Amino acid sequence: MLGISENIVQCQRDLEALKAPTLNRLVRWHFMARRLLLALMIVFLIILFLPWQQNIQATGRVTTLRPEHRPQTVHATIPGRIEHWYVMEGQYVRAGDTIVRLSEVKAEYFDPDLVQRVSNQVQAKESAIVSYQNKIAALEAQIAAMQRERDNKLQQITNKIRQTEFKVEADRAALEQAKVDIQIARRQFDGVKNLYDRGLKSLTEFEEKRAKLQESEAKLVGAENKLAVTQNDLDILRTELSLTRNEYDNKIAKAESEKFSTQSEMFDAQAAVNKLRIERENYSRRTAFYYIVAPQDGYVVQAITPGVGEIIKEGDPVVSILPADYQLAVEMYIRPMDVPLIKPGNQVRFLFDGWPAFFFSGWPNISVGTFAGRVVAIDRNISENGRFRVLVKPDPEEQSWPSALQVGGGAKGIALLNVVPVWYELWRVLNGFPPDLYAWGEKDKEKKDEELLPKAPIKKVK
């Protein structure tokens, strides 16, 4: 049994005849199971080193890329009463097509000739402005005439004053001459009187000298009186000059005051004309708002204010229109902790409602029924649901999105991030770590890029 003896024991047949050895023998499938487990372990190790695409999943809805292509509500510009509908729900309309006709509900706009009547008021005010302008021109001409008349009158009085001043100078010279003459006549009279008292002159000569003295005295008094009269005339002329200047200044000031009053009335009339023109333009444009038209080509989705005879207020919604031509996009909402991981240009895979798909997380290339998109924009502020909105447009390099997609449909987005080994992803999930912000190997590349960037020279501080 132990192989110690050299004798050969022939017990094979005896063992085959026994039942116990048969029950303890290893069957073939035990060896196959061991090999299968070994193969599975090898496959599992290989899978651990396979590349895994990290991703962020979020729900969203189908929308349009541009704001003007999204469903819009047409509002009433003015209050009114619905008189007639020109379209029905689901109908295609072009830009400018009439949707609803309204009628007026405010009493101040009931007059059908309101615009024409306001135009007549504008013409009347414009005629009044022309009259004011003519009156101002007449007052300006009157002021100019009074200024010329004042200047002529003042010049005339000034000339008279100069003549009187010359006359005063002449009378003053005559007075001085009279004073000299009376002095001579007095000396002659005194001399003749002394001679007459001595008997050397006759009475006739004495009387002649006395008469000449009296005549000189009379001439002196006359010269003084004439000088006084001339000076009085000069004072009168100067007073007349001042009075004339004041008189014409008052007349000119009164005319200018009337001119300024007329200008003020003209400006008020111009303001009234501008106000009436604004009212006329408003009334004219208001008539165009009686017809609510389609702002762009599209389909009438819903009549928000149906019926005829309904009273709507200013700004009330009337109908909802979906533009006909638009570019689809998806807006999805991600968690704040995932915002740093997504940048414009990142690829996103979508599963749309109504389109069957099989998505393999980590291997998007082998997924079926998904559609690709590129991140266009990320909101700077958080939404009401506590998440950030991300807008994604179709990827032009991938399969185009289904043409039957409708705005508002649901979509599930899978934002593709970095490619890492499977073992690293399992380790990250087990430890609760978030996805990587940078792909493997990009950190070294960024360091090299930073080294290649030109650095600003360092300035030495003295």
What is the location of CATH 2.40.30.170 in the chain? 53-68+326-445
Given a cut of 90, is residue 85 above it in pLDDT?
yes
Q: Which residue bears the tokens 């509500």?
A: 73
Beta strand 51-64 pairing with 410-421: antiparallel
Percent of the chain residues topping a pLDDT of 70: 85
Domain 53-68+326-445 has CATH 3.20.20.70: no
Interatomic CA distance for residues 221 and 175, integer angstroms: 9
Tell me the mean pLDDT in the region 87-106: 91
Per-residue pLDDT at 79: 92
* Average pLDDT value for residue range 173-183: 84
Distance CA 110, CA 115 (A): 11
Give dist(CA 356, CA 370) in Å, integer: 9
Check if the beta carbon of residue 323 is closer than 8 Å to that of residue 298.
yes
For the cut 80, the answer to whether the pLDDT of residue 441 exceeds it is no
- Residue 82: half-sphere exposure toward Cβ, Cα within 13 Å: 23
The C-alpha angle with vertex 428 and arms to 426 and 430, in degrees rounded to 5, equals 65
The answer on pLDDT for 160 being more than 50 is: yes
**What is the dihedral sign for C-alpha 46, 49, 51, 57?**
positive
Q: What's the pLDDT tens digit per position in 280-312? A: 998 888 888 999 999 989 999 889 888 888 899
CA–CA gap between residue 298 and residue 335 (Å, rounded): 35
Give the mean model confidence (pLDDT) for residues 55-76.
Answer: 87
What pLDDT does residue 388 have? 92
pLDDT at 173: 87
pLDDT score of 76: 92
pLDDT of amino acid 139: 92
Domain 114-288 has CATH 1.10.287.2610: yes
pLDDT digits (tens, 9 = 90+) for 21-37: 555 555 555 667 778 88
> Domain spanning 71-104+290-322 has what CATH number?
2.40.50.100
Whether the per-residue pLDDT at 69 is higher than 50: the answer is: yes
pLDDT at position 445 = 41
| Mean pLDDT of the region 139-151 | 92
Residue ranges, comma separated, of all CATH 1.10.287.2610 domains in the chain are: 114-288
**CATH 2.40.50.100, the chain: domain bounds:** 71-104+290-322
Most confident of 30-39, 247-256, 366-375: 247-256
Cβ neighbours of 180 (radius 10 Å): 12
Contact 114, 139 (CB under 8 A): no
Judged by DSSP in three states, 54 sits in strand
Quick check: 56 and 392 in contact, CB under 8 A?
A: no
Q: How confident is the model at residue 418 (pLDDT cuts 50, 70, 90)?
A: confident
